[in-house]
Structure 1
Amino acid sequence: MTDPEPTGSGRHETEQERYDRNWHDLQQELRITQTGTQLLAGFLLTLPFQNRFGTLSPAQTTIYLGLVVLAAAVSILALAPVAAHRMLFRRHRIGDLVSMSNRVLIICLVASSILFSGTVLLIFDVVLGLPLGWVVGVVIFLATAALWIGVPLRLRLTSRGGPAGGTLD
């Protein structure tokens, strides 16, 4: 094992220690994503058992079913790193696991933004009508994009003292 060396972030850790830290960070972020999407999926799954569900238009029913499939897909995708970890356990592939998990988490965040805004669109459509549903759904999507993409990119581009290129470490 090599002695810890300073990384671009000023940390004194080996490559293995950095991968271990990155993996633990990704696990925490995936737990948050899983919890949020699973709660939303649970909410969506209760809707057919409500009296008013039978009054949905065919378009609303289609949107609803699309959201249920998307919620299930995000939940399944967010669990993929766990499955990969089990399959790669004790195979010294933490670098591959971190890389794959990072990509999966980004995909989950994109899909979650669509899921959240789509759910808001459906609720507003049922309660106040489709035009307002689209407006509020688009506003939620744009706000999510600004917070999840715009703000971090701005921070990345204006970072002081951090590694050039803004790598995850």
Structure 2
Amino acid sequence: MTEQEQRTGRDESEEERADRMWGEILQEVRVAQMGVQILFGFLLTVVFTPKYATLSDTDQAIYIATVVLGAAATGALIGPVSLHRLVSGRRIKPQAVEWASRLTVVGLLLLLAVMAGALLLILRVATHDDYVPWLVAGVVVWYLVCWFVVPLWTRRRHTE
């Protein structure tokens, strides 16, 4: 297949497409990075509050798992920046865009887990009610719909 046959929608070379996509990924990652960094920072302070010592073993385990997931999400969402810096000038931007995209999706999945863990912990501490897991499951489904189902449905419906 020739380069012209591979083009769809825009008249851009592979390098121009990679440049455009790189800029788009960085904008997307900035939004997710901000959210995960604020949430992670908040989570790091919880262990230093007097309330932490009164948490049940289960709640402390949820907290620890959520902090670890927060650290992993932060790493995945900052990964594209490091990737770009370390491969810059090597003429492999299309491959860097592909890996940055993968890191971003992994980061979003981890962010989803962090949000679920934080919500679970907060609602367990605030209410002690049996319906908490159902509320958290509902929010997780909502995130999945907003972050993955709608975009994938849109991609499938509006691309050949």
Could you say whether these structures have the same fold, taking a TM-score greater than 0.5 normalized by the shorter chain as the test?
Answer: yes
Secondary structure of 2:130 counterpart: helix
Q: Deviations over 1:82-123 (max 9, x none)?
A: 222122121101011000011111111111111111111110
Given the alignment of the two structures, is residue 107 of structure 1 paired with residue 106 of structure 2, yes or no? yes
Q: Is the 8 A contact 2:33 2:77 kept in 1?
A: yes
Q: Give the drift of 1:132.
A: 2.8
**What is the CA–CA distance in structure 2 between the aligned matches of 1:122 and 1:129, rounded to whole Å?**
10
Other-structure match for 1:7 = 7
Q: Give the drift of 1:5.
A: 9.1
**What is the CA–CA distance in structure 1 between the aligned matches of 2:6 and 2:82, rounded to whole Å?**
32
Percent of pairs with identical residues: 32
Q: Give the drift of 1:158.
A: 1.9
Q: Is the 8 A contact 1:67 1:115 kept in 2?
A: yes
Aligned AA (2:8): G
Q: Is the 8 A contact 1:124 1:132 kept in 2?
A: no
Aligned residues: 157
After TM superposition, the structure 1 = structure 2 runs for residues 17-36 of structure 1, keeping only pairs within 5 Å, are 17-36=16-35
Q: Deviations over 1:44-66 (max 9, x none)?
A: 11112222221100010011011
Q: Give the drift of 1:130.
A: 5.5
When the two chains are superposed, the root-mean-square deviation of aligned CA atoms in Å is 1.7
Q: Give the drift of 1:6.
A: 8.9
Given the alignment of the two structures, is residue 141 of structure 1 paired with residue 104 of structure 2, yes or no? no
List gaps (5 residues or longer) in structure 1: 165-169
Other-structure match for 2:49 = 50
The worse-fitting range, judged by mean Cα deviation, of 127-136 and 24-33 is 127-136
Given the alignment of the two structures, is residue 92 of structure 1 paired with residue 88 of structure 2, yes or no? no
Aligned AA (1:150): V
Q: Deviations over 1:17-52 (max 9, x none)?
A: 110000010011111111100000011111122222
* Distance 1:101-1:116 versus aligned 2 partners, 3 A rule: same
**What is the CA–CA distance in structure 1 between the aligned matches of 2:94 and 2:109, rounded to whole Å?**
23
Q: Deviations over 1:112-152 (max 9, x none)?
A: 11111111111000111152321121111111011111111
Instruction: Write 1 or 2 for the structure with the bigger share of helix.
Output: 2
Q: TM-score, normalised by structure 2?
A: 0.91
Q: TM-score, normalised by structure 1?
A: 0.87
